[in-house]
């Protein structure tokens, strides 16, 4: 079932034109933000410059409505090929951006060129329509493309969205695992905010396709939906770009996440691993390095005079946890002793959190509940109502 628009419904034309000018203003903003991302030496430079390229492409696309009103395509018809195919660059550029954010090194490979294949196919679809001057003489695929090349682009862009969402989610999951293998606090390092931006982009694109399908892809309605989607995608992209500027740069993630080379694994014999484990547990009990909110895997490895890769393997394989879980279990156990001690009712939770190695009350509440099964407040009211969490070292 579809909704057909009345031929004389000028409201659609009015809102399409209005949104076209809104998008033109957004295009100017996108270019300014792209310049900032390219020049400001904060965050991950490679990722920021990819986002700058994304914003430039987005700005060109956002000018489509005003270009249509101004008759630009009548004067320069080949521009239709570029403008109609630009949406097929959004997915690859956002993927490259997330990859640069999630990895310590952004290395371009020859295989990355294949991400441009849909864009090239989109150019070909519009070229067929432009060169043929309209529908072809028969009913074959070429005829369908010549009639409505934008439908082929929408189909490819939809498929792209599904594929890139899966790939980006996998990248973010790998980054999360890498962060937890090196850091005991992940609030400043995590890219969880990108998951929200990705989910928002997926919802916007899905809503746009649904709107087009409801009106049976009627050209005027498609034009209105396109302008609305541009506005929403732009707002989501602007938010991503500004957040990218303040994302701290952390090092050591690649080494912690990458499997150790074979010679490194072979150098850590079972005897050496057992010795490293014993020294690690002794250090944790004696010096309590977990009370340092900035403790990292490399810093702890340096205190033990072992290679970070070896320490990571001991924690993962012998103790059955990642670095984040290992350190925070010690912190939670220390906090539980503080909360169950006489006179603990009058102690502020933020004081307990900071003195046990947590860097904020929100992190303390979240990690404590994940490990102990209850919030710190619940535990302080009745410590004996639930068994203690497992021993911090397994």
For 342, phi then psi, to 5°, come to -60, 135
**In this structure, are residues 299 and 168 in contact, taking their beta carbons and an 8 Å threshold?**
no
Rounded CA-CA distance 198/246 in Å is: 18
Separation of alpha carbons 140 and 132, rounded Å: 14
According to DSSP, the residues that pair with 183 across neighbouring strands are: 296
Q: Has residue 5 got a pLDDT over 50? A: no
What's the CA gap between 82 and 5, in Å, rounded?
29
Q: How far apart are CA 359 and CA 363, in angstroms?
A: 7
Q: In this structure, are residues 192 and 370 in contact, taking their beta carbons and an 8 Å threshold?
A: no
Percent of the chain exceeding pLDDT 70 equals 85
Classify residue 296 by its DSSP letter.
Answer: B
Rounded to two decimals, the pTM is: 0.80
Q: Which residue, 277, 220, 185, is CA-closest to 13?
A: 220
141's tokens = 């695929």
Output the DSSP codes for 27-73: HHHHHHHHHHHHH---S-HHHHHHHHHHHHHHHHHHTHHHHHHTTHH
The full DSSP string for 150-215 is HHHHHHHHHHHHHHHHHHHHHHHHHHHHHHHTTBS--TTT--HHHHHHHHHHHHHHHHHHHHHHHT
Highest mean pLDDT among 68-82, 84-98, 150-164, 182-196: 84-98
Measured distance between the N- and C-terminal CA atoms of the chain, rounded to whole angstroms:
59
pLDDT (tens digit, 9 = 90+) per residue, 28-81?
999 999 999 999 877 778 889 999 999 999 999 999 999 989 999 888 888 888
Cα–Cα nearest to 57, from 99, 25, 85: 85
Q: What is the mean pLDDT of residues 166-183?
A: 90
Say whether pLDDT at 137 is over 70.
no
Q: Where do we find the tokens 């909704």?
A: 3
The 10s digit of each residue's pLDDT in 234-292 is 999 999 988 888 776 654 444 444 445 444 455 778 899 999 999 999 999 999 999 99
Residues 154-169 as b or e (16 or more Cβ within 10 Å = b): bebbeebbeebbeebe
**pLDDT at site 386:** 54
Please state the rounded mean pLDDT for residues 10-23.
88
For 23, half-sphere exposure in the C-beta direction (CA atoms, 13 angstrom radius) is: 29
């Amino acid at each position: 079932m579809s909704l057909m628009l009345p031929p004389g419904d000028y409201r659609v034309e009015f809102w399409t034109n209005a949104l076209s000018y809104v998008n033109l203003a957004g295009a100017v903003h996108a270019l300014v933000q792209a310049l900032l991302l390219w020049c400001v030496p904060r965050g991950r430079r490679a990722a920021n410059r990819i986002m700058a390229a994304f914003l430039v492409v987005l700005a060109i696309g956002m000018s489509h409505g005003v270009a249509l009103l101004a008759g630009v395509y009548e004067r320069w018809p080949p521009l239709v090929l570029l403008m109609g195919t630009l949406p097929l660059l959004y997915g690859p550029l956002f993927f490259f951006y997330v990859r640069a954010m999630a990895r310590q090194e952004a290395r371009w490979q020859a295989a990355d060129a294949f991400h441009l294949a849909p864009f090239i196919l989109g150019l070909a679809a519009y070229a067929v329509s432009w060169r043929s001057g309209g529908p072809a003489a028969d009913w074959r695929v070429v005829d369908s493309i010549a009639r409505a090349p934008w439908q082929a682009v929408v189909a490819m862009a939809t498929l792209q969205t599904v594929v890139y969402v899966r790939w980006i989610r996998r990248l973010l999951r790998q980054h999360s695992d890498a962060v937890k293998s090196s850091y005991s606090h992940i609030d400043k390092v995590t890219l969880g905010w990108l998951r929200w931006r990705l989910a928002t982009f997926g919802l916007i694109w899905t809503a746009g396709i649904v709107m087009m399908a409801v009106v049976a892809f009627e050209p005027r309605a498609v034009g209105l939906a396109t302008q609305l989607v541009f506005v929403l995608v732009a707002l989501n992209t602007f938010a991503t770009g500004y957040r990218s500027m303040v994302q701290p740069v952390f090092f050591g993630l690649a080494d912690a996440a990458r499997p150790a080379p074979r010679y490194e694994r072979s150098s850590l014999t079972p005897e050496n691993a057992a010795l490293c484990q014993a020294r690690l547990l002794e250090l944790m009990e004696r010096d309590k390095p977990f009370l340092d909110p900035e403790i990292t895997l490399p810093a702890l490895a340096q205190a033990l005079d072992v290679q970070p890769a070896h320490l990571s393997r001991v924690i993962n394989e012998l103790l059955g946890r990642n670095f984040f879980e290992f350190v925070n279990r010690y912190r939670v156990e220390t906090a539980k002793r503080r909360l169950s001690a006489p006179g603990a009712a009058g102690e502020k939770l933020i004081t307990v959190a900071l003195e046990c190695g947590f860097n904020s009350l929100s992190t303390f509440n979240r990690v404590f509940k994940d490990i102990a099964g209850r919030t710190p407040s619940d535990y302080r009211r009745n410590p004996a109502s639930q068994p203690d969490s497992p021993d911090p070292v397994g």
